[in-house]
Amino acid sequence: MPRNTSLTSSSGPALLLAFFGGTFDPIHYGHLKPVASLAKIAGFNQVILLPNNVPPHRPQPEATAQQRLQMVELAVAADPLFSVDPRELMVDTPSYTIETLATLRKEHGDDCPLAFIIGQDSLLTLHKWHRWASLLDFCHLVVMARPGYKEHLDTPELQKWYDAHRVTDAEKLKQKPCGFIYQANTPLLDISATEIRERRHAGLDCSDLLPAAVEHYIESQGLYRQ
């Protein structure tokens, strides 16, 4: 079970749990720093990282599921904002977000506000996700800025859906359990896992891109070698 996720309260104010899914091959500052800033902007009580096993729309990662889990755990070990939920790693079929969210909704009940965090690049391809238009039946979507990705959405269907659900006040996320899209003005970090893998393959240093504990683990496992 996830660490530190027993937050649902029957008496206190609405808690806003945020889930952040990713392949995390490896996790890096481009994930961690914008999310930490987002948590302050949007008032997240907790951010639960959801590393996937089989990413739905990309080739299988270079690091194993166990290695990616280890890296995610090392990256957030010292920060109580974060916890890690390994549920998608236990399954050998593609990690469709809608299925994970349906399970999370059952576990947390109908009234608890839940948010799913994505980067701008993910928003641009959201119309290719499994049952994408139903995602908001289970959660809010919170989008982080990412340098190099345009703001304009390509398909009229996605744009219309986005316009119909977008809110500009983060407070609204706590007022309903699901159904809103919030675009957050998070710091821009031009970092990708692809760049880290490529730099490692070329024998280059990555220490400015990810936490030292993750870098040491990558080194000790001989990951992303030349």
Ligand X SMILES: O=C(O)c1ccc[n+]([C@@H]2O[C@H](COP(=O)([O-])O)[C@@H](O)[C@H]2O)c1
- The answer to whether 161 touches 120, Cβ cutoff 8 Å, is no
> What is the Cα–Cα distance from 107 to 101, expressed in whole angstroms?
10
Q: Does 192 bind ligand ATP (CB under 6 A)?
A: yes
Q: Give 224's contacts (C-beta < 8 A, 6+ positions apart).
A: 26, 62, 63, 196, 197, 200, 201, 218
Q: Give 156's contacts (C-beta < 8 A, 6+ positions apart).
A: none
CB of 21 to ligand ATP, least distance (A): 7
Q: Does 118 bind ligand ATP (CB under 6 A)?
A: yes
- Amino acid occupying residue 204: L
- The answer to whether 221 touches 67, Cβ cutoff 8 Å, is yes
Using CB positions, name the residue nearest to ligand X: 21
Q: Does 211 bind ligand ATP (CB under 6 A)?
A: no
> What is the Cα–Cα distance from 108 to 9, expressed in whole angstroms?
10
> What is the Cα–Cα distance from 195 to 97, expressed in whole angstroms?
25
Cβ count near 101 (within 10 Å): 22
| Nearer to ligand X among residue 7 and residue 102 (C-beta) | 102
Footprint of ligand ATP on residues 19-38 (CB under 6 A)? Answer: 22-25, 30-31, 34
203: left (phi over 0), alpha (psi -120 to 50) or beta: left
| Nearer to ligand ATP among residue 110 and residue 142 (C-beta) | 142
Q: Which of 128, 123, 72, 67 is nearest to 96 (CA)?
A: 128
Residue 129 interacts with which of ligand ATP, ligand X, none, CB < 5 to 8 Å by class? ligand X
Pick the binder of ligand X from 4, 40, 57, 147 (CB under 6 A).
Answer: 57
| Nearer to ligand X among residue 14 and residue 108 (C-beta) | 108
Footprint of ligand X on residues 20-39 (CB under 6 A)? Answer: 21-23
Residue 30 interacts with which of ligand X, ligand ATP, none, CB < 5 to 8 Å by class? ligand ATP
Residue 106 interacts with which of ligand ATP, ligand X, none, CB < 5 to 8 Å by class? none
Pick the binder of ligand ATP from 140, 146, 174, 200 (CB under 6 A).
Answer: 146
Residue 191 interacts with which of ligand ATP, ligand X, none, CB < 5 to 8 Å by class? ligand ATP
Q: Does 177 bind ligand X (CB under 6 A)?
A: no
> What is the Cα–Cα distance from 8 to 27, expressed in whole angstroms?
27
Q: Applying CB under 6 A, which residues contact ligand ATP?
A: 22-25, 30-31, 34, 118-119, 121-122, 144, 146, 189, 191-194
Q: Applying CB under 6 A, which residues contact ligand X?
A: 21-23, 50, 52, 55-58, 95-98, 122, 129-130
